[in-house]
Amino acid sequence: MISYRKTTFLVSFSVAILLFSCNGNGSVEKQKAVDWQNRKVSINPQDSLIHGQSYLSVYSQIYSETEHQTHNLTVTVSLRNTNIDSIYITSAKYYNTHGNLVRTYFDHPILLNSMETVEIIIAEVDKEGGTGGNFIFDWAIPSHDSMPLFEAIMISTSGQQGLSFRTEGKRIR
């Protein structure tokens, strides 16, 4: 039999978890999709910018037990400005395992403000990228700034099992 003290602790712990997972209105917060069109900016052609390109691997699926069984993952892609100055990301393209373009998130400049992070979320049910998904990001930065940081966190839970891992982008041009 469970003691009164243990029952009280479990109830209190459960209520605390519920409260911390809610916003001020008592409802669970939902991630809002980024309005890429609303973030669109123009780059002054007279600005002295360095242009580059970065690659990021992502996994919307991984193999489990055999090559015939896969496990779906939620992907969070972070586009990070590590500078005090604003920088530009000029395109974000998502490719699948076979190198086919899945979707273009944007192909116009967006501004990332000082130390800002913008995220792309790929839902667990979205398996289009497969086991070898890829992103290509084009960017433009002032010559004295560091290039943007691109990271992906993949996560999934099933019952009491959970898995997560991270990848980091690499400059390719």
Span 7-51, pLDDT tens digits: 444 444 444 444 444 444 444 455 577 888 888 899 988 888 999
pLDDT of amino acid 12:
47
| pTM of structure | 0.79
* The pLDDT value given to residue 21: 47
Residues 60 and 13 in one domain: no
* 82 shares its domain with 156: yes
Give the whole-number percent of the chain exceeding pLDDT 70: 82
Residues 17 and 84 in one domain: no
Residue-number span of the structural domain to which 124 is assigned = 32-171
CA distances from 1 to 4, 5, 7, 8, 76 (A): 9, 12, 10, 14, 43
Same domain, 26 and 101: no
> Residue 99 — left, alpha, or beta (φ > 0 → left; ψ -120 to 50 → alpha)?
left
Residue pointed to by tokens 């002032």: 142
